[in-house]
Amino acid sequence: MDTIHICGGYRLDGEIPIHGAKNSALPLLVATLLAADVSELTNCPRLSDVTASLAILRHLGCVVTQAEDRVTVDAAHLRCGHVPDELMRAMRSSIVFLGAIVARCGEAVLTYPGGCELGPRPIDLHLSALRRLGVQVTEEHGRICCRATRLRGAEIALPFPSVGATENVLLAACTAEGTTVLRHAAREPEIADLCGFLNACGARIRGGDSGTVVIEGVPRLHGACHRVMADRIEAATYLAAAAVTGGRLTLTHCPALPVSPVFAPLEQAGCVITATGDSLHIQAPSRLCGMGMVRTLPYPGFPTDAAAPLLAAACVAQGTTVFVETIFENRYRYVDELTRMGARIRVDGRVAVVEGVDALNGADVACTDLRGGAALLVAALAARGDTRITELHHLDRGYEDPVGCLQRAGASVCRR
Ligand code: EPZ
């Protein structure tokens, strides 16, 4: 079993290149299914969730090649529209295959996606939106069967701006007959990235970043090349890592705007963040101040995925920080691990009150989920002594080579 060893107390100082975004790459890979053609993604991160998506594409009959950050998908000959349970369970976002497969094949049979680590994650919004587009959905024995002889554009209003449901509607509506208007859609930057790729494939989508998306159906799509946007959550994690060590970092290949919702709490803690071109710079004070109240919200609010690494930084701030999680029910499982390192955190439902302590102590800890794992990395960088982190498969889902990135910025870290 691999372990990450960190000897805390070293100031980060250097440059970290930000990889392509997991949460953009996954729906983009699904979107390559829509055209009976070849598509290419560059800046695609090397992550286990990407490997799981490629396995599903191969199972469906696509010819997939991956070299460095370049993935080519030839979806000319699909074999079937069924995704077996073991592939569905590998990751939550496999549910986004539903809209694309039904659009391309007229039938999709999937099982419920895996993972329940953040509390219940229903798919009712996905299914009701697809029904509005003319998909017949039946659920039996844990299988979801979707059929549509013809998809038809529709007016759809989501009760909550779900990222995955928005992606499923986009994928299903591109080649539907007529126009779809999706209101209260998610506005996360990854949605605009998906719309950019789909439009490059010949789709006609407007308003991908506005909350009201208009999709005029076209008869078919063709393949296209696309560069995956930078990972704003990876960027937020390294900003927190710089902050917690009193360090100074430059993040390259990282436009500021998508990351900007995390700036306010870091600035309140005393960090100075500046942007030049596609680089972000952070200079942290020798001791952070409390960050006040951090409430997670859909974009452009503070992202739920960045709360865990910032919470870890708040553990050694002078003062109190209150985190309020409004997106997921159970996102504080990693807090027990931080407590083992000496953090003072009280959790009550969706609220975590963090009272900063003078120092954390190294300990043996285990990742409980992807972003919880990122929180442990951040905490360990500031802790006195050695920390050993296990259950790294969670981190491998969403961070490409975090050990190499942190080493190059001056951290004492290795994986063995
Ligand atoms: C995406 O998940 C991301 N995953 C998540 O990142 C991210 O935390 C989340 O969006 C919010 O930004 C990917 O992009 C692969 P949602 P998704 O549908 O699409 C409820 C990470 O760490 N809901 O916007 O699953 C749901 O239970 C991951 O990288 C329903 O009730 O998020 C949740 O409370 C974790 N019914 C809320 O909406 C539905 O049908 C937000 O979910 C769908 C969602």
Multiple choice CATH, 4-18+230-415, 3.40.50.300, 3.65.10.10, 3.30.160.100, 3.20.20.140: 3.65.10.10
CB of 362 within 8 A of CB of 343? no
Calculate how far, in angstroms, residue 162's C-alpha sits from the geometric centre of ligand 1. 6
Mean pLDDT of 251-274: 98
* Orientation of helix 189-200 relative to helix 22-31, angle to 10°: 30
Query: 46-79: per-residue pLDDT in tens?
Result: 999 999 999 999 999 999 999 999 999 999 999 8
* From 116, 130, 327, mutation site for ligand 1 pocket: most ligand atoms within 8 A of C-beta: 327
300 prior amide bond cis, ω within 30: yes
Q: Which atom of ligand 1 lies closest to the CA of 370?
A: 22
Sheet of 136-140: strands edge to edge?
A: 107-111, 143-147, 136-140
The catalytic residue among 80, 116, 225, 414 is 116
Q: What is the pTM for the complete model shown?
A: 0.97
272-276/279-283 β-pairing: antiparallel
Query: 338-386: per-residue pLDDT in tens?
Result: 999 999 999 999 999 999 999 999 999 999 999 999 999 999 999 999 9
CB of 388 within 8 A of CB of 414? no
Residue range(s) occupied by CATH 3.65.10.10 in the chain: 4-18+230-415, 22-227
Query: 265-304: per-residue pLDDT in tens?
Result: 999 999 999 999 999 999 999 999 999 999 999 999 999 9
- And the tokens for 361? 């102590």
Closest to 233 measured CA to CA, from 50, 22, 16, 409: 22
CATH number of the structural domain 22-227: 3.65.10.10
Q: Which atom of ligand 1 lies closest to the CA of 24?
A: 14
Q: Which atom of ligand 1 lies closest to the CA of 329?
A: 34
**What lines the ligand 1 site, CB under 6 Å?**
23, 26, 92-93, 121-126, 160, 162-165, 186, 188, 304-305, 327-328, 370-371, 398
Q: Is 225 an active-site residue? A: no
